[in-house]
Amino acid sequence: MPVSALMTAPPSPGEAPMPSWALAVADAPLLEGDRTRFGLRLPVHGWRGESGAWLAHTVFPVARVGAVYGPGNYILARRRGDGHFDPLYIGEADDLPSRLDGHERWEAALAMGMSHVHVHHLARGRSERLAVEADLRRRFHAPLNDIDIDVTVGAGAIPRL
């Protein structure tokens, strides 16, 4: 099933509609995506936040991080031997190329085995990006996020559009 079809899947009976920045998918950790950038065919990975919402992220190998663009959320990630990913750092930015260039945790992430950067472009505006970041950080312990978020920030602010 193409990713575009999954993004418009109707909710199950009794289930709240998915927000615009979430992706309703099965528990498959890696979806073959049809998104391209600069001639790259890039997979899409679904991360589930604490809210239960699936968040679609385009997966960029570290060697192709120059193809990252625009505002969005990002995860510096390490691919495990079983094909799943560990988040090393979770963040958001108005301008991803500027944020990732010289990122203060980049070298530490590489030392920990970072292999990919996952990028989420579906949040509309900074408040939704902050809600996505809070949702993911409440679910995952990313070791390079050295200060915990105030879980009241974004709590209830996760948009249900």
* pLDDT 10s digits, 99-152: 999 999 999 999 999 999 999 999 999 999 999 999 999 999 999 997 554 544
Predicted local distance difference test score (pLDDT) of residue 42:
78
Closest CA to 73 of 40, 41, 51, 99: 99
Label residue 63 exposed, middle or buried (CB < 10 Å: 0-12, 13-18, 19+). exposed
- The least confident of 54-68, 83-97, 106-120 is 54-68
Could you tell me the two tokens for 28?
Answer: 């498959």
Q: Specify the pTM.
A: 0.71
Contact 144/108 with Cβ under 8 angstroms? yes
Q: Are strands 54-61 and 85-93 parallel, antiparallel or unpaired?
A: unpaired
Q: Give the number of other CB atoms < 10 A from CB of residue 129.
A: 24
